[in-house]
Structure 1
Amino acid sequence: MKGKNIVKNVISIAPMVDRTDRNFRNFVRMINRDVLLYTEMITAQAIINTKDLDYLLDFDKIENPIVLQIAATNPKEAYEAVRIAEKYNYDEINLNVGCPSDRVSGNMMGAYLMAFPEIVADIIKAMKDATDKPVSIKHRIGIDGKNILPDYFERTLLDQYEDMKNFINITEKAGVNKYIIHARIAILAGLDPKQNRSIPPLRYDEVYRVKKENPDLHIEINGEIKTVDEIDKHLKHTDSVMMGREIYDNPMILTEFGKYYGKDINITREEIIEKMIYYVENMEKQNIRPHLFLMHAHGLFHNVCGSKYWKRKINDPKADSRLLRTLLNEINYNY
């Protein structure tokens, strides 16, 4: 069995569908060079069957450190997908065992697999046989599988700490030593993914307990973490913190993370826009629509003067590098 040590990083940005694509990750790197990035969740079948592998998996060197997150149903698919992805310089491969989407669970992927830790262990073994890169798992603290799990299950509500402990104990034997834990259960039927991020109550203490009882494992906590003060609190009990939509909505919070990497991050919004102009000009040279990048920068002026104006301007599908130069000149003139 192959495998390296885990990628250690204090802060990571959660994989988010339709958000953490290549353009958003480049935007993050304009502000912060250190946080650990994730791809969107990509199914093993998509990797195996795509006709444009570079479009699906390629990324810019500046995006490292970066984790490829995949969803898989069985060991064979997982092995093949990871072997295909080996040509790309990802720092880590992550198995999604936390997505509550009915589309995903209906295909026996994501959080559905928490009910089958032995299958997850076999998938992990296959992934580790396919790569020398570290392999980790992202999961929930439990699941409510009512109306989704097979009829032979005596219990479809697997929401006790002992259920999560059993899942970790079994998968750890397959060689996993890094777990990213969303501190909510996933309700597989009746809630959409957005509701699953807010309705099930947060149970941070159970993630803390996992770390206390498993000091040799790297335990990362995830779930509605929004401020540096909250990060500091969680780091007293866990090894690292994963944030998602707060960074997407308020990317300037990335400037506050320097202390976790022994540096100051003093970049201004004006300097970020200058980097954006250069990036968009390169897109234009390749006949790529700038909107695919600019759509991810709506939050640059989050909660400060001019936020609505900025959003309205760059939300125009025709927004381009010339608009960014105009906006930059307006900022410099007014401030």
Structure 2
Amino acid sequence: MTEVGSPATVAAHSFSVAPMLDCTDRHFRVLMRQISRRALLYSEMVVAQALHYTNRRDRLLDFDPIEHPIALQVGGDDPKLLADAARLALDWGYDEINLNVGCPSQRVQAGNFGACLMADPDLVARCVEAMGQATALPVTVKHRIGIDDLDNDELLTAFVDRVAAAGAQRFSVHARKAWLEGLDPKQNRTIPPLQHERVVALKQRRPDLLIELNGGLETPEDCLAALHECDGAMVGRAAYAHPLRWADIDHLIYGEPPRQLLASDVVEGLIPHAALHLQRGGRLWDLCRHLVQLVEGVPGARHWRRELGERSQRKGADLNILEEAGRQLKDAGL
């Protein structure tokens, strides 16, 4: 296992921001890149079938070079379409491609991908093998510890073994089972109990595999603890809801020099990206909707969030609104 705090040896996946639908778009990823220069960032899940049939791949795949290292997460169950997606990931300049075997939503199940694929390790293996043959990028898998009644350590280990033999290079394991019937995706993130010990035990049984722990990691200290037992720590909602909480992560995990990062620094760093987005015909709210999570727990935070939200949603909202929001934070010492 890598030694935490040694920049020469700690891999990008030591800390990552999980793929989250409607959250980890290119604007939030650029925001997070102001906070961590080293974390592995993930796209939202992109459906392989959509990539195959659309003529708007730029909307689904484009990203800013500052976002590296970045992984494309895809969903699907067709090895051929997933191989096509893997080739596109390489062509577009992604650093990794990740297969979603964890999403429990009814819509995803209807397409026969996501968490329901844990019931068919052979199909997942064929998908991973096809992806690996199509690209030189690392092919990784994000999955649950189990689904429904298929939920024990023997089945989990058999799944990982089968998919590893097909070429998967890392397993990001959400330490909750998924109930495919009766719980919606939000409930599946909270109701099934966290079982970190099962992910740790999986790593102990398979020490040669790269195992990343996901689920319930709320603080940098949680991630440091996870890295003593697994190869990576993946954070989802806690990164989205509290971005500045992770300002020390490059120092704590990657051994980078400490730095004092303020909310105003993050806003200022986003201005070039916002300018380009507006030039391309985008809306300021596309970006500012993520910023409302940036300032919390200080006097005036609620007012700042409300004002930014209201002004950035207006028709014709321009860069001056974001620049003024940054100045307000700087004047307040934030």
The normalised TM-score by structure 2 is: 0.91
Which residue in 1 is equivalent to 2:8?
Answer: none
What amino acid maps onto 2:272 in structure 1? Answer: Y
Q: Which amino acid is the alignment partner of residue 303 of structure 1?
A: G
Q: Deviations over 1:49-97 (max 9, x none)?
A: 1111111111111111000111111212211222233311111111110
C-alpha distance 278-80 of structure 1, shift in aligned 2 (>3 A): closer
2:98 aligned with 1:106, yes or no? Answer: no
Shift of the alpha carbon at 1:280?
2.4
2:225 corresponds to which residue? 233
Q: Show CA shifts across 1:22-65 (max 9, x none).
A: 11111111222111000001111011011111111111111110
Look up the equivalent residue of 1:190 and give its one-letter code.
Answer: G
CA RMSD of aligned residues (A): 1.6
The one of 19, 36, 55 equivalent to 1:32 is 36
The equivalences for 1:181-220 within 5 A come to: 181-220=173-212
Per the TM alignment, residue 241 of structure 1 is displaced from its structure 2 partner at its CA by 0.3
Instruction: Return closer, same or farther for 1:163/1:312 CA change in 2, 3 Å cut-off.
Output: same
Instruction: Name the CA distance, whole Å, in 1 between partners of 2:248 and 2:287.
Output: 23
Q: Distance in 2 between matches of 1:53 and 1:284?
A: 20
Contact 1:67 1:93 in 2 (8 A): yes
Alpha-carbon distance between aligned partners in 2 of 1:333 and 1:101, rounded to the nearest angstrom: 44
For residue 145 of structure 2, give the secondary structure of its aligned residue in structure 1.
Answer: strand
Q: Distance in 2 between matches of 1:225 and 1:262?
A: 20
| Residue 200 of structure 1: how far off its partner (Å) | 0.3
> What SS does the corresponding residue of 2:194 show, helix, strand or coil?
coil
| Greater displacement, 64-73 / 27-36 | 27-36
Matches within 5 A, 1:163-174: 163-174=155-166
Alpha-carbon distance, 1:205 to partner:
0.5
| Secondary structure class of the residue paired with 2:29 | helix
The residue matched to 1:299 in structure 2 has which SS? coil
Paired amino acid for 2:67:
E
Aligned with 1:224 (options 216, 225, 250): 216
Which segment is superposed worse, 168-177 or 16-25? 168-177
CA apart distance, 1:259: 1.8
Instruction: Give the CA deviation at 1:279.
Output: 2.9
Cα drift, residue 286 of structure 1:
2.9
Change (3 A) 1:55 1:218: same
The match for 1:262 is 255
Cα distance in 2 for partners of 1:29, 1:76 equals 33
Aligned ranges for residues 39-78 of structure 1 at < 5 Å? 39-78=43-82
CA displacement at 1:287 relative to structure 2: 2.7
Q: Distance in 2 between matches of 1:136 and 1:83?
A: 15
The 2-side partners of 1:86 and 1:214 are apart by: 29
Cα distance between partner residues in 2 of 1:246 and 1:304: 18
CA deviation profile, 1:285-310 (whole Å, cap 9, x unmatched):
33321110111111111222222112
Q: Is residue 249–residue 298 contact of structure 1 (8 Å, CA) maintained in 2? A: no
Give secondary structure in 2 for the equivalent of 1:300.
coil
Give the Å deviation of 1:116. Answer: 0.3
- Structure 1 residue ranges without an equivalent (≥5): 1-6, 145-156
Q: Greater CA deviation, 311-320 or 44-53?
A: 311-320
Q: Is the 1:67–1:90 contact (alpha carbons within 8 Å) kept by the matching residues of 2?
A: yes
Counterpart selection for 1:290 from 259, 280, 284: 284
How far is 1:254 from its partner? 2.4
Residues in 2 aligned to 1:98 and 1:161: alpha-carbon distance in whole angstroms: 17
> How far is 1:334 from its partner?
4.1
Distance (Å, rounded) in 2 between the aligned partners of 1:324 and 1:288: 14
- Offset of 1:8 from its aligned partner? 4.3
| CA distance in structure 1 between the partners assigned to 2:60 and 2:330 by the alignment | 38
Instruction: Identify unmatched segments of 5+ residues in structure 2.
Output: 1-10
Contact 1:280 1:320 in 2 (8 A): no
